[in-house]
Structure 1
Amino acid sequence: MTETENHGLSGWMEGGTHHLHQRVYYEDTDFSGIVYHARYLHFFERGRTDLLRCLGVEQRTLHTIDEEGLAFAVHHMDLKFVRPARMDDILDITTKTVKATGARMVLEQAIHANGQLLTTARVTVVVINRAGRARRMPDDLAATLLEGQST
Structure 2
Amino acid sequence: MLKIYLSASISNAPNNAFLAEHFPVADFQVYLPQEIVPDQLNHISFPLHVYQQCVDMMQASDMGLVLFDAFGRDCAWECGWYAARSDKALFAFVESGSIFLRDWMVKGGLDGLVTTNPRLHALCADNPILQHKPVHLISDLAALPQALADAFSQWQAQTLAP
Q: TM-score range by the shorter chain?
A: under 0.3
TM-score (norm 2): 0.24
Query: Rg bigger for which structure?
Result: 1
Q: Larger helix proportion, structure 1 or 2?
A: 2
